[in-house]
Amino acid sequence: MTLLRTLIWFAVAAVAMLGAVWLAERPGNVTVEWRGWRLDTSVGVLLVAVAILILLGVALWLLYRWIVGAPGALIEGWGDSRRRRGYRELTQGLAAVAAGDGGEAQRHARKAEQLLAEPQLTLLLSAQAAQLTGDRDGSRRAFNAMLEDEQMAFLGLRGLIAQSLRDGDQAQALSYAERAFKLRPQTPWVVHSLFDMQAQIGRWREAQETLDAGLRRKVVTQDKGRTLKALLLVERSRATERDGSEADALALAREAFGLAPERIAVSSRLAELQIKAGDGRRALRTLERGWALAPHPDLTALYLKASGENDPLKRVGIVRKLVAQKPDDLESNLALAQAALDAGLWGEARRYLDAAGGTSPSARVCRLMAEVEERAQSDQAKVHEWLARAATAPADRAWRCSACGAQHESWRSVCESCGAFGTLHWRAPGTYGHILPPEVQQTPALQAPLSS
Ligand SMILES: [Zn+2]
């Protein structure tokens, strides 16, 4: 580039020099006569005079432009630096929020507000700063002000939902979530939050509508939608039964079983109603299918009830028929051990418990072993040994929430600890793993609890 420019300059200089030489070699005179004035000069001098006049004209024009344009440019530059300072305050404020320094964030928010005449930009910072310093009224004011602006309304609603949930005001949170859902029904957290909130207060039909909308917009996967729908049907079946309509309750439970037979709550609900309707044979088939997919002690109890058998020895044979659906499972061995124990078959009970416990028997296995030794009237030392082992044994399968890890005594559709719907699974602890490290989950950002 530089080389090319140098070459061009050389060419221009050469042409100018040649022109000057050419003119000098061909002297000529110019005479101007005007109103009694007479000017005699050479062509060369005239050309130089014309060139000087042109340069002078250009210089005057540039001077004029500079004088006229200066104040505007100055004002523009001043406004620019004001906006730049405002943005810098905004950036520093956001950095302070990220660092968790509420006081610092508030200071920057106030300065940014003064410098930038754009309230919607600084509102979010003000709201977060207020949240950090624990100023509930301040953050509520800022979030409410966001509702006025079309672009910020959704963000404001998110903040208000989170704040209402923290305040324990579920009704208010639900109404904000409904508004957010109307604004953006395609946003995953809105669908999940609204669904969980509706489920928490037992609005099963509305939760179903939210779920359907989520499925249509592909916010909820087909597989997850299927199981959630089945669990909603279980809840509706319970409510219908309470209202006295057992036939409808049974129809709902059957629909749920068709969707998700692998959920223990679903198979036990259907079997319960089939037994109640006097259809023990169907209940046995339901439970056998359920056991093959997901065995659980509740299913054993229902199976024995459906069989109508009361003789302890015969009950062992009935349990054997059930567990044949999944013979190697821990629950199968435990169910057989319990039945053998009830029938007084100590040796058989010990054998099944050995199979269930393996090298590190769980607390449940140890307690059952202690019971076997106690009832078999063997050495008391053995009983104590098993009870001592139970205290330090690995924890058993239990109803655990896959969202928060909380443990529950019995199955329920909504986790009492985190409020998520359909997250309770019959599992041993430590089978989930963390998706996010804890510190990421606890950022002071605007967050509502979401079910997974
Ligand atoms: Zn939970």
What spacing in Å lies between the alpha carbon of 55 and ligand 1's midpoint?
83
Which H helix or E strand runs over 299? helix 297-307
Q: What is the DSSP letter of 421?
A: B
Q: Higher-confidence residue: 106 or 260?
A: 260
What spacing in Å lies between the alpha carbon of 398 and ligand 1's midpoint?
13
What spacing in Å lies between the alpha carbon of 203 and ligand 1's midpoint?
19
d(C-alpha 78, C-alpha 56), whole Å: 33
What spacing in Å lies between the alpha carbon of 402 and ligand 1's midpoint?
7
Confidence (pLDDT) at 237: 97
What spacing in Å lies between the alpha carbon of 394 and ligand 1's midpoint?
22
Cα separations (Å) of 396 from 274, 365, 408, 425, 426?
Answer: 30, 9, 12, 13, 10
Q: Residues 324, 347: contact at Cβ < 8 Å? A: no
What spacing in Å lies between the alpha carbon of 427 and ligand 1's midpoint?
14
Query: Which of these, 98, 147, 95, 92, lies nearest to 123 by C-alpha position?
Result: 147
Confidence (pLDDT) at 226: 96
Q: What is the pLDDT of residues 95-113, one digit of tens each?
A: 998 998 888 988 998 888 8
Pairing of strands 398-401, 29-34: unpaired
d(C-alpha 179, C-alpha 146), whole Å: 14
Q: 22-26, 84-88, 122-126: which has the minimum mean pLDDT?
A: 22-26
- Structure tokens of 440? 């990421």
Q: What is the pLDDT of residues 34-73, one digit of tens each?
A: 888 887 877 777 778 888 999 999 999 999 888 887 777 7
Helix (H, G, I), strand (E, B) or coil at 424: strand
What spacing in Å lies between the alpha carbon of 428 and ligand 1's midpoint?
15
- Structure tokens of 340? 């053998």
Whether pLDDT at 438 is above 70? no
Q: What is the DSSP letter of 202?
A: T
Query: Which of these, 178, 99, 296, lies nearest to 91 by C-alpha position?
Result: 99
What spacing in Å lies between the alpha carbon of 212 and ligand 1's midpoint?
23
Q: What is the pLDDT of residues 313-362, one digit of tens each?
A: 999 999 999 999 999 999 999 999 999 999 999 999 999 999 998 888 99
HSE-CB for 334 with a 13 A CA cutoff: 22
What spacing in Å lies between the alpha carbon of 424 and ligand 1's midpoint?
7
Sign (positive or negative) of CA dihedral 350, 355, 356, 362: positive
d(C-alpha 347, C-alpha 8), whole Å: 108
What spacing in Å lies between the alpha carbon of 400 and ligand 1's midpoint?
8
Which H helix or E strand runs over 226? helix 222-242
Cα separations (Å) of 377 from 373, 374, 382?
Answer: 6, 5, 10
Q: Report which residue type is found at 190.
A: V
Q: What is the pLDDT of residues 379-411, one digit of tens each?
A: 889 999 999 999 999 999 999 999 999 999 999
What spacing in Å lies between the alpha carbon of 435 and ligand 1's midpoint?
15
Q: Residues 119, 113: contact at Cβ < 8 Å? A: yes
What spacing in Å lies between the alpha carbon of 376 and ligand 1's midpoint?
41
